[in-house]
Amino acid sequence: MACIEARGLRKAFGSTVALDGIDLRIEEGRIVGLIGPNGAGKTTALNAILGLTPYHGELKVLGRDPWKERDQLMRDVCFIADVAVLPRWLRVSQALDYVEGVHPRFDRAKAEGFLAKTTIKSTSKVRELSKGMVTQLHLALVMAIDARLLVLDEPTLGLDILYRKQFYDSLLNDYFDRSRTILVTTHQVEEIQHVFTDVMFIDRGRIVFTCSMEEFESRYLEVTVHPERVAAARALKPMHERQMLGRSILLFDQVDRQQLTALGEVRTPSIADLFVAVMGNHSGVAQNKDKYEGVTR
Amino acid sequence: MNTPSNAVPGSPLDLQPNAPAVVSATRPIYWSIRREFWENRYLYIAPLAVAAVFLFGYLISVIHSPDQLRALVALISAHHHEEISGPFDISAALLMGTAILMSVFYCGEALHGERRDRSILFWKSLPVSDVTTVLVKASIPLLILPVLVSAVTAVMYLLMLLLSSVVLLGTGGNVAMLWAHVPILQMSLLALYHLVTAHALWPAPVYCWLLLVSGWARRATFLWAVLPIVAIGGLEKLAFNTTHFANLVGSRFIGATAPIASTTDVFPTNPMTHITPAAFLGAPGLWIGLGIAAIFLAAAVRLRRYQGPI
């Protein structure tokens, strides 16, 4: 059974189309990065998956209709939204009590174990914790729930690099066990691309690119071309070309590595490079391209 | 750096279903109520504080003039009955006023706060339905506060009586007479009856309307709650020069028209025989009001499904 299956998923806010007919299938046991520019429909897509917003089209999450069965679905699905959403008046001990009280799959000892590794005191209120600590608390709660799908929407936004790294390390080491599925959206792609098993690019409410990381690594190559070989390189039909420090960097899809080695330095591109290439080729996103190059370089 | 990326999707191991987990239906309700008391600590602090202040005042008054109390008890007759129970009635009325204020403020915030601080995303990430959440919030003014406040009232009655007894003993007054004429158990039950009927069930449409508006308005919930009432009342006044709508809402709100007793004076020390629960339960106004309250609650549940943070 697919963990998430969508066909023709649409959602409009007034005249603004947020999701323009999304088809996707995410198998269980995958860690999928959903990547797209601001306003591409990432959060709307996640909200539909989590039963927070109604939609048109077909959507099944763990075999359930999220809009109609949200409370049932939440026994098997956890999510952390873009910024810390734990109420500020809540005490750490109360958070544990509450989740233990309402969630049949919550393992309190496990959550306490995670918290013991942090400096968070059980008597503290959320308002007294730093943003990084609130995220740690939320993660401790979520990781102690034996869920089948975890959805993270920009979970590390506004955290410093130490917390960000720690966040994904604990997720991988203490949580992911290959039967769970994790769906992540983030702008800090390069930091966590090693975590993904699959990536999806979303733009203007459509999935414009889907690929597993194995496929990604074998298909795409980036070459910093020797100046005198540029013409020859261009003849091989790169999917994208950019300039850096006066040299041309060309991105190729399914071109023989031997052939490319003769043209210059060959390496596997980062997801961010591929994102810029795909988005650049996708009509009418030139303005985003510049922005993303700025962000990801 | 691609440690976890060789997971094979769809292998038999991956499809182990989680063990079926059962959680009884009452647990989410119980913990949702706990949550309301964590979030709104005034729900128990306010009545306790009012009771404490009143007790302190009463303590000063009986210590200041113990002879007056002794004289009152000595003179107890039907005529002086009200004078001896007067402070008890005032204390109960104060607590009832507190309960009404708390209910109004609670309902005006109940579905607004969680949207304003974005915590609705956390609450919705847990397996608690919108129906449970909204019904628990409605139960605070309609059920939990009346019970809680009458319990506080009962304890306060007892403390006042004990205090009076100690002072009477000190001045050689008749303690047995005092206890015979201040039936605190009966008075406490009457306080409960009064709170549940006149200040919870009868004004239920008012509280549920506030809850609904708190789930709808982005800001200024009280303004949006009151504005339509003022508008309708004003329209009626201009068009027909009558004030039926304003009277209706006002009387609902303070519970004045509720047929809960055969006398207009329904203070708790009145004998139990004056209350008319059958008339109250048989009043069409009660059921019409509860029907309207149910419609408001259903709308609030539906709204919460659609609403996210503001």
Tens digits of residue pLDDT in A262-274: 888 898 898 888 8
Size of interface A-B (CB pairs under 8 A): 132
In this predicted structure, what is the pLDDT of residue A229? Answer: 85
Check residue B123 and give its pLDDT. Answer: 94
For β-strands A198-203 and A240-244, DSSP reports them as unpaired
Question: Counting Cβ atoms within 10 Å, is residue B295 exposed (0-12), middle (13-18) or buried (19+)?
Answer: middle
pLDDT of residue B215 exceeding 90: yes
Q: Indicate the helix (H) or strand (E) that contains A145.
A: none
- pLDDT of B10: 39
Asked whether residue A288 carries a pLDDT value surpassing 60, the answer given is no
Count of domains observed in chain B: 1
pLDDT band at B1 (very low <50, low <70, confident <90, very high): very low
Residue with the two structure tokens 């955290």: A159
State the complex-level ipTM: 0.86
For chain A, positions 187-246, list CB contacts with chain B under 8 A: 194-197, 213-214, 217
Percentage of residues in chain A with pLDDT exceeding 70? 93
Assigned domain for B202 exists: yes
Domain membership of residue B4 (yes or no) is: no
pLDDT (average), residues A219-236 = 87
Q: What is the mean pLDDT of residues B69-97?
A: 75
CB-CB contact of A165 with A237 (8 Å): no
pLDDT at B279 over 70: yes
What is the per-residue pLDDT for B22?
55
2-41 in B: which are within 8 Å (CB) of A?
2-11, 13-16, 18, 21-23, 27-28, 30-32, 34-35, 38-39
> Rounded to an integer, what distance in angstroms lies between the CA atom of residue B62 and that of residue B74?
15
Percent of chain B with pLDDT over 70: 86
Strands A2-13 vs A56-61: parallel, antiparallel or unpaired: antiparallel
Q: Which residue of A has its CA nearest to B28?
A: A102
φ, ψ of residue B124 in degrees (nearest 5): -75, -10
- Residue in chain A lying closest to B132 (CA): A71
Q: Give me chain B's average pLDDT, please.
A: 84
pLDDT at B14: 38
Among the listed ranges A240-244, A275-279, B6-10, B122-126, which one has the minimum average pLDDT value?
Answer: B6-10
Residue B73 inside a domain? The answer is yes
> How many whole angstroms from its chain centre is CA A16?
23
Q: What is the rounded radius of gyration, in angstroms, for the C-alpha atoms of chain B?
A: 25
* Cα A277-A283-A285 angle, rounded to 5 deg: 65
- List b or e across B52-69, with b for residues whose CB sees 16 or more CB atoms inside 10 angstroms: eebbeebeeebeeebeeb
Residue B12's pLDDT is what? Answer: 39
Q: Is 70 exceeded by the pLDDT of residue B28? A: yes
- Which residue type is seen at A242? R
Which domains can be identified in chain A, with CATH numbers? Answer: 2-204 (3.40.50.300), 215-296 (no CATH)
Q: Give the helix/strand (H/E) hosting A229.
A: none
**Domain contains B51:** yes
pLDDT value at residue A217 = 87
3-state secondary structure of A34: strand
Q: What is the mean pLDDT of residues A210-235?
A: 88
Domain assignment present for residue B30? The answer is no
| The pLDDT of residue B6 | 40
Residue B25 within any structural domain of the chain: no
Instruction: Tell me what pLDDT residue A291 has.
Output: 42
Of chain B residues 121-160, which have a CB less than 8 A from chain A?
Answer: 121-122, 124-130, 132
- B5, A71: Cβ pair inside 8 Å? no
Q: Which of residues 51-110 of A touch B (CB under 8 A)?
A: 52-54, 70-76, 78-81, 83, 85-91, 94, 97-99, 101-105
Selected residue of A46, A100, A178 to mutate for chain B interface (largest B Cβ count, 10 A): A178
Asked if residue B27 belongs to a domain, the reply is no
Q: Which residues in chain B have Cβ-Cβ distances shorter than 8 Å to A103?
A: 23, 126-127
Strands (E), chain A: 2-13, 16-27, 31-35, 56-61, 77-80, 149-153, 181-185, 198-203, 206-212, 220-225, 240-244, 247-253, 264-267
For residue B23, is pLDDT > 50?
Answer: yes
* Backbone dihedral region for residue B118 (phi beyond 0: left; psi -120 to 50: alpha; all else: beta): left
Domain of residue B158: give its range. Answer: 39-306
pTM of the prediction? 0.86
- A85 → closest Cβ in B1, B39, B118: B118
A284 confidence band (pLDDT: 50, 70, 90): very low
Residue B7 has pLDDT above 70, yes or no: no
* Most confidently modeled range among A42-46, B246-250, B290-294: B290-294
Which pLDDT score is estimated for A82?
66
Supply the pLDDT for residue B272: 62
DSSP string, A253-297: ES--HHHHHTTEEEEPPPHHHHHHHHHHHSTT-HHHHHHHHHHH-
Average pLDDT, chain A: 87
Mean of pLDDT values over A49-56: 93
Kindly indicate the confidence band of residue B15, based on its pLDDT and cuts at 50, 70 and 90.
very low
Chain A residues near residue B8 by CB distance under 8 angstroms: 29
Domain membership of residue B281 (yes or no) is: yes
Two structure tokens written together for B302 = 């539906």
Which residues on neighbouring strands pair with residue A149, listed in sequence order?
Answer: A77, A181
Per residue in A74-84, is it b (16+ CB within 10 Å) or e — as a string? bbbbbbbbbbb
